[in-house]
Structure 1
Amino acid sequence: MKIDLNADIGEGFGCYTMGDDEALMEIISSANIACGFHAGDPVIMDRTIRLAARRGIDIGAHVGFPDMLGFGRRQIQADPHELSNYVVYQLGALSGLARRAGCKMTHMSFHGALGNMAAADDALADPLVKAIAEFDPGLIISVSTNTAIERAAERYGLTCATAFLADRAYDDQGALVSRKLPGAVIEDKAAVLQRVVELLQDGCIRSISGNKLEMKVRQILVHGDTGGAVALAGSIRQAIADAGGDVVPVSRLV
Structure 2
Amino acid sequence: MVPAVSLLLLALAAAPASAVDARTAVETFVSRLTHVSLADMTVTERFTLYDPNGRSEQASGERRLFVKIPRRERVEETLEGRRVISILLDGRLWVRRSDGRVYEASTVDAQRARADLLTSFRHTAADLLGVWRSLGIRDDVAHDERAGGRLVTVIGARPGDRASPAVWLDPEYGVIRLVWREKLPAREGVVDLALSDHRRVVSDFFYPFRRELFLDGRLLTRVTIRDVAVNTDLPDDLFDPAALRRIQ
The TM-score, its normalising length taken from structure 2, stands at: 0.31
Identify the structure with the greater strand proportion. Answer: 2
The TM-score, its normalising length taken from structure 1, stands at: 0.30
Which of the pair has more CA radius of gyration? 2
